[in-house]
Amino acid sequence: MNRKTTLSGFVALALVAVSSLTAGNGFIRPTVGFVSPDAEGYDDSIYLGADIGSFLGKNQNHEVSGEIGFVAWEFDQREGAFRAEGEETYVPLLVNYRYYVGTPDVNKVRFFFGPSLGFTEATYEVKVTGPGMNLKGDASELLFTYAVNLGVEIKFTEKLSLNLGYRYLHIKGTDTELFGSRIDLDDSKAHVGFAGLTCRF
C-alpha cells in the first residue's frame, strides 16, 4: 500500500468515526497557529488547519475530532556560484481527544487538555543551480505524529466559542531518497500556539 492510499484511508476512517459521533453535538473549527520549530535554521511559521468532530458525554466534557492542516518552510542558500532553493511542506492528519473541565451551561470559560495522534505527509522539493548544473529533486514521506494539547475555551454563544491553546508537536524522522541518495531526516519537534473558532451544529 503506497503513502497516498494510506493517507486517504486514514482520512476516510477519521471522518467516518467522527461523523458517527455527532448526534447533535457536532462542530467544525478552523484554526490558525504560530509554529516555532525546535531546530536550527528554521524560522517561525503559520499553521492553518481545521477540525471536525463532536462533544460527548452528559456535560460535553469529552471531545473527539479529526484534524487536517498545512505549514511550510522555504529556503534559499548560496555557496559561491551555486544556489540551492527548496520548500518543505507538512500536512498533518490527526485524531484529537480533549477533556474539558466544567460544563458549558454553567462555565463560560473551560480549560481543556488531551493528546493527538496520526500521520504527517512531508514533502521536500529542492533545486540546485550553478555553473554546468541544474538539478531538481523531490521526495514525500508519511511520518508518524503525536502531540499534547492544552488550553482554554471561551464561550460566546450556544453555537460559538473561541479556543486558545498550546501544542507540543512531535513528527518522527525517517530516511528518504533525494538526488539518488538516501538522506536521514531527524525527528521534527515544534511548539505551537493556536487559536480556533468552534462553530457547533
SS3 199: strand
pLDDT per position as a tens digit, 132-178? 888 888 888 899 999 999 999 999 998 999 999 999 999 998 877 77
pLDDT per position as a tens digit, 105-131? 888 999 999 999 999 999 988 888 888
Confidence label for 24 from pLDDT (cuts 50, 70 and 90): low
Q: Where are the domains of the chain?
A: 3-200
Q: CATH topology for 3-200? A: Porin (2.40.160)
pLDDT for 195 equals 98
Residue 49 in this model has a pLDDT that exceeds 80: yes
Residue located via cell numbers 493517507:
7
Are 172 and 147 contacting, i.e. CB atoms less than 8 angstroms apart? Answer: no
The rounded distance, in Å, linking the Cα atoms of 81 and 119 is: 39
Entry pTM: 0.83
